[in-house]
Amino acid sequence: MDVVQTYGVAADRRQDGGHERIQEELLVRGFSVIESVLDETEIVELIDAMDRIYRKQCEEVGGEDQLRRINDADIVRCLLAYDESYMRLATHPALMSVIKSVLGENFVILMQNGIINRPDRKQFQTAWHRDLNYQHWVSTRPLALSTLVTLEDFKEKTGGTAFLPSSHRFENFPSDQFIRNGQVTPQVPKGSFIVFDSMTFHRAGVNRSDRIRRGVNHVFGAPILSQQVDIPAMLGRDAPDDPWLAGFLGYRWNPVQDVAAWRRRKISAAAA
């Protein structure tokens, strides 16, 4: 690999490998890609589970037409509460290593959504958005990171996700001209992770292929942010014995019923 030549440079961000590349890309352009993490067996298991969970979630509300009425068709929410394969995905070692390198040890999973992009339907997620909706501010470091897991190849023809590079560094949504000239759709093979600052504007593309394109989006954030749904309640079981996992799933950070319950939680943690 050729060495990048410079002159008049007194400070730089030269890398030795590891997570430094990902951290720099997140800081500068707002997204990074980790290619080909999952194998074919894992991908098939996740696809089968997603389709099964979506059918179940449609049944829960009286059919898919009810989801269309609220612009929620082809979105599969909180899959980890329905199938253990998605709990394993949310806590995948390669993914957790990256998230911890940016957010530190204390963060919570805010949401996990499956996205089904069909060639015969326009996905609601094709509209530009931030994963922290309605927020218009800039922070010196990420408060939340999103991770798209590609279960099929993500490219323009299949409706791969488009990003506005560096838009996490500006408060407001940019002009139409900037969007037309600046949007980028990374070509990402299936089984990969697209990690991005949750304040980076992005959108799903239009699937012009002849097959479904599936992905799974996660949002991990500082515990000051609330979960999309109450994951501990959905899991319907006591907090896990692992203190880190209890925090990750929200057991540690969720509001309690009253002061006495808050104190009992603190007493229990101190005794552990």
Determine how many CB atoms are found less than 10 A away from the CB of residue 45: 16
Q: Does residue 18 have a pLDDT over 80?
A: no
Residue ranges and CATH numbers for the domains of the chain are: 20-229 (2.60.120.620), 231-272 (no CATH)
AA identity, residue 136: H
pLDDT-derived band at 269, boundaries 50, 70, 90: confident
CA dihedral angle for residue 28, residue 90, residue 37, residue 195, rounded to 10 degrees? -10
Q: Does residue 8 have a pLDDT over 50?
A: no
pLDDT digits (tens, 9 = 90+) for 186-205: 999 999 999 999 999 999 99
Q: How far is CA 162 from the centre of its chain?
A: 14
Please provide the DSSP assignment of the chain as one string.
-PPPP-SS-S------STTHHHHHHHHHTSEEEE---S-HHHHHHHHHHHHHHHHHHHHHTTSHHHHHHTT-TTEEE-GGGT-HHHHHHHT-HHHHHHHHHHH-S--EEEEEEEEEE-TTS--GGGS-B-SSTT-----SS-SEEEEEEESS-BSGGGTPPEE-TTGGGSSS---HHHHHHH-B---B-TT-EEEEETTS-EE-----SSS-EEEEEEEEE-TTSPPSS-HHHHHTSPPPS-HHHHHHHTTTTSPPSSHHHHHHHHHHHHH-
pLDDT digits (tens, 9 = 90+) for 96-139: 999 999 999 999 999 999 999 999 777 777 899 999 999 999 99
pLDDT of the residue at 262: 83
Between 2 and 20, residue with greater pLDDT: 20
pLDDT-derived band at 263, boundaries 50, 70, 90: confident
Q: Does residue 163 have a pLDDT over 90?
A: yes
Distance, CA of 64 to CA of 73 (rounded, Å): 7
Q: Does residue 86 have a pLDDT over 50?
A: yes
pLDDT digits (tens, 9 = 90+) for 31-46: 999 999 999 999 999 9
Model confidence, pTM: 0.88
pLDDT of the residue at 3: 66
pLDDT-derived band at 13, boundaries 50, 70, 90: low
pLDDT of the residue at 17: 52
